[in-house]
Chain A
Amino acid sequence: MKVEQRPAESKSPATLSDKATLLKLHREMLLVRRFEEKTAEMYQAAKIGGFCHLNIGEEATIVGTISSLRPDDYVYSTYREHGHAIAKGIEPNAVMAELFGKETGTSHGRGGSMHLFSQEHRFYGGYAIVGQALPIACGTGYSITYRERDEVVMSIFGDGATNIGAFHESLNVAKLWHLPIVFVCVNNLYGMGTAVNRASAVTEIWKKACAYNMTGERVDGMDVLAVRRITDQLVEQARAKHEPSLLECVTYRYRGHSMSDPDTYRGKDEIKEWQGRDPILTLGDHLKQQKLLTDQEIQKIDEEVTAEVEAAVKFAEESPEPDPKELFRDVYAEAGAA
Chain B
Amino acid sequence: MPVLTMRDALNQALREEMKRDESVFLLGEDIGLYDGSFKVTRGLMKEFGEKRVLDTPIAEEIIVGAAIGAAMSGLRPVAEMMTVNFIMVAMDQVVNAAAHIRYMFGGGTKVPLVIRTPGGGGHQLGAQHSHSHENWFAHVPGLKVVAPGTPADAKGMLKSAIRDDNPVMFIENEGTYAVKGEVPDGEHLVPLDKNDVKRQGDDITICAHSRMLIVAMDAATELEKEGISAEVVDMRALRPLDMMPVIESVKKTSRLITVEEGWRSYGVGAEIASRVYEEAFDYLDAPVARIGAAEVPAPYNKRLEKIAFPGKADVVVTAKALLGKN
Q: Are A138 and B107 in contact (CB under 8 A)?
A: no
State whether A142 and B66 are in contact (beta carbons under 8 Å apart), knowing that A107-B106, A115-B104 are contacts in the complex: yes
Q: Are A110 and B72 in contact (CB under 8 A)?
A: no
State whether A138 and B165 are in contact (beta carbons under 8 Å apart), knowing that A129-B96, A333-B110 are contacts in the complex: no
Decide yes or no whether B59 CB sits under 8 A from chain A: yes
Q: Are A139 and B71 in contact (CB under 8 A)?
A: yes
- For A110, the chain B residues whose CB sits under 8 A away are 103-107
Interface residues of B in 150-179 (CB under 8 A from A): 164-166
Q: Are B51 and A146 in contact (CB under 8 A)?
A: yes
- For A333, the chain B residues whose CB sits under 8 A away are 102, 107, 110-112, 165-166
**Out of A109, A146, A173, which one reaches B75, CB within 8 Å?**
A146
Q: Are B66 and A173 in contact (CB under 8 A)?
A: yes
Closest to A141 in B: B69
Looking at B68, B72, B105, the one whose CB has the most chain A CB atoms below 10 A away is B105
Q: Are B97 and A143 in contact (CB under 8 A)?
A: no
Q: Are B65 and A134 in contact (CB under 8 A)?
A: yes
Decide yes or no whether B141 CB sits under 8 A from chain A: yes
Q: Are A143 and B108 in contact (CB under 8 A)?
A: no
Decide yes or no whether B32 CB sits under 8 A from chain A: no
Decide yes or no whether A165 CB sits under 8 A from chain B: yes
Q: Are B65 and A129 in contact (CB under 8 A)?
A: no
- For A249, the chain B residues whose CB sits under 8 A away are none
Q: Are B72 and A135 in contact (CB under 8 A)?
A: no
Q: Are B73 and A117 in contact (CB under 8 A)?
A: no
Q: Are A337 and B110 in contact (CB under 8 A)?
A: yes
- For B101, the chain A residues whose CB sits under 8 A away are 125
Cα A288 to Cα B107 with chains together (Å): 45
**Out of B65, B104, B110, B166, which one reaches A136, CB within 8 Å?**
B65
Cα A147 to Cα B101 with chains together (Å): 23
**Out of A74, A132, A144, A334, which one reaches B92, CB within 8 Å?**
A132
Q: Are B106 and A137 in contact (CB under 8 A)?
A: no
Decide yes or no whether A172 CB sits under 8 A from chain B: yes
Chain B's nearest CB lies how many Å from the CB of A51?
Answer: 14
Chain B's nearest CB lies how many Å from the CB of A323?
Answer: 13
Q: Are A143 and B73 in contact (CB under 8 A)?
A: yes
Decide yes or no whether A170 CB sits under 8 A from chain B: yes
Cα A107 to Cα B104 with chains together (Å): 7
- For A125, the chain B residues whose CB sits under 8 A away are 101, 105, 109
Please report the number of residue pairs spanning A and B whose Cβ atoms sit closer than 8 angstroms.
Answer: 148
Q: Are A132 and B62 in contact (CB under 8 A)?
A: no
Decide yes or no whether B142 CB sits under 8 A from chain A: yes
**Out of A111, A134, A137, A335, which one reaches B105, CB within 8 Å?**
A111
Q: Are B104 and A139 in contact (CB under 8 A)?
A: no
Query: Which interface class (under 10, 10 to 19, 20 to 34, 35 or more) fits A?
Result: 35 or more
Decide yes or no whether B67 CB sits under 8 A from chain A: yes
Cα A100 to Cα B72 with chains together (Å): 26
Cα A337 to Cα B77 with chains together (Å): 18
State whether A140 and B165 are in contact (beta carbons under 8 Å apart), knowing that A118-B108, A173-B56 are contacts in the complex: no
Cα A309 to Cα B9 with chains together (Å): 58
Cα A176 to Cα B59 with chains together (Å): 13
- For B263, the chain A residues whose CB sits under 8 A away are none
Q: Are B57 and A172 in contact (CB under 8 A)?
A: yes
Closest to B143 in A: A332
Cα A338 to Cα B101 with chains together (Å): 14
Q: Are A146 and B62 in contact (CB under 8 A)?
A: no
- For B70, the chain A residues whose CB sits under 8 A away are 139-140, 142-143, 146
Q: Are B74 and A143 in contact (CB under 8 A)?
A: yes
- For A74, the chain B residues whose CB sits under 8 A away are 73
Q: Are A139 and B103 in contact (CB under 8 A)?
A: no
Q: Are A111 and B75 in contact (CB under 8 A)?
A: no
State whether A136 and B59 are in contact (beta carbons under 8 Å apart), knowing that A115-B104, A147-B74, A331-B142 are contacts in the complex: no
State whether A117 and B66 are in contact (beta carbons under 8 Å apart), knowing that A172-B57, A332-B166 are contacts in the complex: no
Closest to B89 in A: A165
- For A138, the chain B residues whose CB sits under 8 A away are 62, 65-66, 69
- For B164, the chain A residues whose CB sits under 8 A away are 335
- For A165, the chain B residues whose CB sits under 8 A away are 61
Decide yes or no whether B64 CB sits under 8 A from chain A: yes
Decide yes or no whether B229 CB sits under 8 A from chain A: no
Cα A140 to Cα B66 with chains together (Å): 7
Q: Are B69 and A136 in contact (CB under 8 A)?
A: yes
- For B110, the chain A residues whose CB sits under 8 A away are 333, 337-338
Chain A's nearest CB lies how many Å from the CB of B89?
Answer: 9
Interface residues of A in 109-163 (CB under 8 A from B): 109-111, 115, 117-119, 124-125, 127, 129, 132, 134-144, 146-147
Decide yes or no whether A106 CB sits under 8 A from chain B: yes
Cα A333 to Cα B51 with chains together (Å): 27
Contacts A/B (CB < 8 Å), 9 sampled: A127-B97, A132-B97, A135-B61, A139-B69, A139-B70, A142-B54, A147-B74, A166-B61, A166-B92
Query: Considering the complex of A and B, which 6 residue pairs feature the smallest CB-CB distances, nearest first?
Result: A139-B69, A135-B65, A108-B106, A330-B107, A107-B106, A117-B105
Interface residues of B (CB under 8 A from A): 25, 51, 54, 56-57, 59, 61-62, 64-75, 77, 92-93, 96-97, 101-112, 141-142, 144, 164-166
Given A124-B69, A132-B65, A139-B70, list of 12 further CB < 8 A pairs? A74-B73, A105-B106, A107-B108, A119-B108, A143-B73, A143-B75, A147-B74, A169-B57, A169-B65, A173-B62, A330-B106, A333-B111
